[in-house]
Amino acid sequence: MAQTWAVLAALLFLIIHLVKGSAYNMVSVEAGHEAVLSCPYVSKMSLLMVTWKMKCSTCCLLAYRRDHNETRRLNCSERIMWKYSPDDDPALCIYPVSLGDEGNYTCEIASSEGNFLFFSSLTVIVPPTVTLTCDKSRVAVCQASAGKPAADISWIPASNDSTEEEVHHPDGTVTRVSYIGWVNNTLPTVTCLVTHPAMNQTLSLDLSCAFPRLPYLLIGGSASVAVVSGVTLCLIFRCRAFRLRQLARGSAVPFASKNFRSTPSCEKRDVVDPPVLSECIYQNYNPRFINMDY
């Protein structure tokens, strides 16, 4: 047993000798902003080399060697750079940060005083897109789309009838949707509260505008059209009946308008006997205004 403890103590001493110090840091940054990963400060005179690594086989490696004043980049995009001069402050800067930059990073420093390790865990936060809508069945829908982490949704006033569902996307973002029905509720508005590490947002929906009484309006409009159409048809039929009665009376006593001028349907002959003349037909005539010159 004593021999085992001696071996463990020797290993611990060796680790402390090789790595004089280590630390761990957690950084959360909103997508599109600047992420800064710090590294322990080492005296400029004792610094030999500093190297940043992202933990994956083909990920970024950024290194600086002080004795040659040389910087080396491997599989690093232009968004990843030194925040300051590496021999003064070897902090790493990523701007603008994206979901693909999320992960664990290691800063290794070699100096005349020993070797140092510093671990950083980068988490990228994505604010969701928030919408508040309604459907024809009088259900309010509050949706927080593509957020990371998933947003929390609550209603004002609170209700036990709300239901939620989640959709997980391949990039790690989550869409959360909450439904609440207001069929038998007389409240004028409903409010959706979305809580997220990157933002807090409140949206209100006017239920009187969102759910208009459209069927009743349509029925009222149809009834109005029917009434107007009925009155119009009634007037047309009454006028037509009155006109027919006038024409019926005019068959006994034909009516002639002013500026009357008859048009004969047969030509006058030089010698016309009264019986022949009486057989000529005149259009649009009134017997009261015809002079019989026999």
* pLDDT computed for residue 99 by the predictor: 93
Phi, psi of 275 (to 5 degrees): -65, -35
* pLDDT computed for residue 55 by the predictor: 77
Provide the pLDDT confidence category of residue 123 given band limits of 50, 70 and 90. Answer: very high
Question: Do 285 and 238 share a structural domain?
Answer: no
- Mean pLDDT for the stretch of residues 191-201: 94
Q: Is 93 part of a structural domain of the chain?
A: yes
The amino acid at 189: T
Q: Is 3 part of a structural domain of the chain?
A: no
Asked if the model's pLDDT at residue 69 lies above 70, the reply is: yes
Provide the pLDDT confidence category of residue 263 given band limits of 50, 70 and 90. Answer: very low
- Quick check: bond before 157 cis, omega within 30? yes
Question: Do 179 and 218 share a structural domain?
Answer: no
Of 108, 125, 142, the domain-final residue = 125
Question: Do 237 and 266 share a structural domain?
Answer: no
Q: Is 48 part of a structural domain of the chain?
A: yes
Question: Do 80 and 96 share a structural domain?
Answer: yes
Write down the mean pLDDT value for the chain: 75
Q: Which of 7-11, 45-49, 271-275, 286-290 has the highest mean pLDDT?
A: 45-49
Provide the pLDDT confidence category of residue 130 given band limits of 50, 70 and 90. Answer: very high
Question: Do 119 and 23 share a structural domain?
Answer: yes
Q: Which two tokens stand for residue 133?
A: 């809508």
| Residue span of the structural domain in which 66 resides | 18-125
Provide the pLDDT confidence category of residue 35 given band limits of 50, 70 and 90. Answer: very high
Q: Which two tokens stand for residue 207?
A: 């239920």
Q: Which of 3-7, 25-29, 178-182, 232-236 has the highest mean pLDDT?
A: 25-29
- Mean pLDDT for the stretch of residues 259-276: 45
Of 125, 145, 168, the domain-final residue = 125
Question: Do 279 and 221 share a structural domain?
Answer: no
Question: Do 118 and 96 share a structural domain?
Answer: yes
Question: Do 163 and 118 share a structural domain?
Answer: no
User: How many folded domains does the chain comprise?
Assistant: 4
Q: Is 9 part of a structural domain of the chain?
A: no
* pLDDT computed for residue 248 by the predictor: 58
Length of the chain, please? 294
CB 95 within 8 A of CB 79: yes
Question: Do 193 and 153 share a structural domain?
Answer: yes
Q: Which residue has the higher pLDDT, 144 or 219?
A: 144
- Mean pLDDT for the stretch of residues 28-57: 87
Q: Is 289 part of a structural domain of the chain?
A: yes
Mean pLDDT lowest among 11-20, 111-120, 144-153, 281-290 = 11-20
* pLDDT computed for residue 262 by the predictor: 43
Q: How remote is the C-alpha of 120 from its chain's centroid?
A: 36
Q: Is 1 part of a structural domain of the chain?
A: no
Question: Do 272 and 174 share a structural domain?
Answer: no
Q: Is 237 part of a structural domain of the chain?
A: yes
Q: Which residue has the higher pLDDT, 43 or 210?
A: 43
Of 92, 125, 158, the domain-final residue = 125
Provide the pLDDT confidence category of residue 80 given band limits of 50, 70 and 90. Answer: very high
Asked if the model's pLDDT at residue 243 lies above 50, the reply is: yes
Question: Do 221 and 163 share a structural domain?
Answer: no
* CATH assignment of the domain containing 97: 2.60.40.10
Q: Is 11 part of a structural domain of the chain?
A: no
Question: Do 79 and 115 share a structural domain?
Answer: yes
Per-residue pLDDT tens over the stretch 177-188: 999 987 666 778
Across the chain, the runs of DSSP E, i.e. the strands, are: 19-30, 35-37, 47-54, 61-65, 70-74, 80-82, 92-94, 103-111, 114-125, 129-134, 139-147, 152-156, 163-168, 174-181, 189-196, 199-206, 263-264, 282-283
Provide the pLDDT confidence category of residue 161 given band limits of 50, 70 and 90. Answer: confident
Q: Which residue has the higher pLDDT, 176 or 260?
A: 176
